[in-house]
Structure 1
């Protein structure tokens, strides 16, 4: 017969096991309901500030780690050479525009010459018609003896002379018409000069390099006097207008995620501060540990090479009104997705 003391012990043991099982079920439900990962970090866009024109830097208006606003002037490149180029482009355009009225005068003169040649052709046509009619009228009279043969020969000679004069007039008219030019080439040069002027104005404007967004300067280690080369980055701006979290979740969890799901973020630097966000997008792939050499994909290392574990895929979580004092690229966070 079991003693009451042993019965009490058995009951306590069974109750403890049942409670442990209940807690395990609750924990599994909560984990499934709100999956989380501590393999996550804060991220933001960065802008590598490179000038679009080359030249000597004469002014730097910012310092390293300074916060700037969109449109603030960061540094200034010596504008003097670009002013000279602008003046040259303006002078070239003015010269071409001044030539346009003279071109029109020359074209008008050529058109008048062509019209004059046209009048000469009409005159030669009239002379030829008169000579031909005279020949036709004298031919029967010569046969009847009313005019001499010399007069008929003279009439025939006049026809030939008038015909040659008409051909010469037509040739001169064609030459005069071909010599008439239009102003299209000059207008094309004016368009090209205007484009060069616009490019010179743009280059001069770009000597003042302005902030493209609100952000924080980082990696600044130059001073006035440095030569800035076009397209070569001098420092970086962290875009503070938009922050998000890259959270790497197991591939068994990602299929249950979708854009718009709410997320809770805890920053390791301030665990008691709760940040809110929402799933913006799901990663489409990662660089495998072995095999494929596909470039351009994020690499997420597996912790245990001798055990087959689930791959992790990056989930992009946009932060809603994040506190600026906690926002640093690469800061470690714990991300929880609320399903």
Structure 2
């Protein structure tokens, strides 16, 4: 009996000890939970937080500006390229032929222009000769008129014969005819000169147009070399050698190596006290919750729903008020070297102090 009593007493002591430990642990958990809840409460009052946020960057589509078959490709997927690097070369034989045609057309137009320039020189010379001849005819007319007046008086006094008088009259009439013909010739020469100048203006316009055609042909030829317009990383390669590329077709997608930022979608009830310049703590999920500092730099002019392709329609009568999200732009304060591991599209958690 004594052994049974001793065993029971030992079991009771062990049970009391265990209950005491459990009680202490329970109180510790309760106190810890209360402290955690209080810390969250105070944090919620001091910070606005959202995990509806991603890293953003400028992403450009590299498009072809000419149609042609791919002759060679000079980039691989995920490769870093510099501005001006050649990415794709298209077969340019057709474009080179067009350049030669444009050069030939320009040569013909320039030849016509030079011919017209010479014709203008000739027309001006003919007009000057007509003017000189007209001046001579006018002098002859003046002399013939004086001879006629003198012989007319002499004939009246019977100082000259009828035959001599008739010769003077004939000379006067022929001189007037020559003068009239000279005036008409001068008018014709002036008209030819004006027409030549008009033709020269048209020829100059034709040469200018042919030069523009040549420039356009050379420009189209340059489009057969597709180059990078900025520094950045090329995405997946979706084309292959020999493939027919059409104008405006996307041949590559580039993530520009310029700037990255965070777009955080806060609830509309969270942005009341937010303002530009507020400090932000950015935690990146993919980097083991690594933290970066940032600043608020802008607010969207409308909610995200307003920018969606299909805006929600609440006019059906089944209206339920849904809290909207306002996109907030946040810039990193870290250097480019510190942000090398940060990639566009990564999920982040943003915490803004009120």
Question: Cα offset for 1:149?
Answer: 5.6
For residues 39-78 of structure 1, the aligned pairs below 5 Å read 39-78=52-91
Q: Which protein is richer in helix relative to its size?
A: 2
Report the counterpart of residue 236 of structure 1 in structure 2.
253
Instruction: Give yes or no for contact 1:258–1:279 (8 Å, CA) kept in 2.
Output: yes
Distance 1:37 1:21, change over 3 A: closer
Report the counterpart of residue 333 of structure 1 in structure 2.
348
Structure 1 position 107 matched with structure 2 position 120: yes
For residues 1-339 of structure 1, the aligned pairs below 5 Å read 26-31=42-47, 35-97=48-110, 100-147=113-160, 151-152=164-165, 154-180=167-193, 181-182=196-197, 183-254=200-271, 256-286=273-303, 308-320=321-333, 321=336, 323-329=339-345, 331-338=346-353
Question: Cα offset for 1:162?
Answer: 2.2
Q: TM-score normalised to the size of structure 2?
A: 0.75
| Comparing 104-113 and 70-79, the one that deviates more | 104-113
Q: TM-score normalised to the size of structure 1?
A: 0.77
Instruction: Please provide the CA RMSD for this pair.
Output: 3.4
Question: Cα offset for 1:83?
Answer: 2.2
Aligned length: 312
Distance 1:273 1:50, change over 3 A: same
Question: Cα offset for 1:99?
Answer: 5.2
Which runs of no fewer than 5 residues in structure 1 stay unpaired?
1-17, 289-293
| Comparing 38-47 and 316-325, the one that deviates more | 316-325
Instruction: Give yes or no for contact 2:282–2:351 (8 Å, CA) kept in 1.
Output: yes
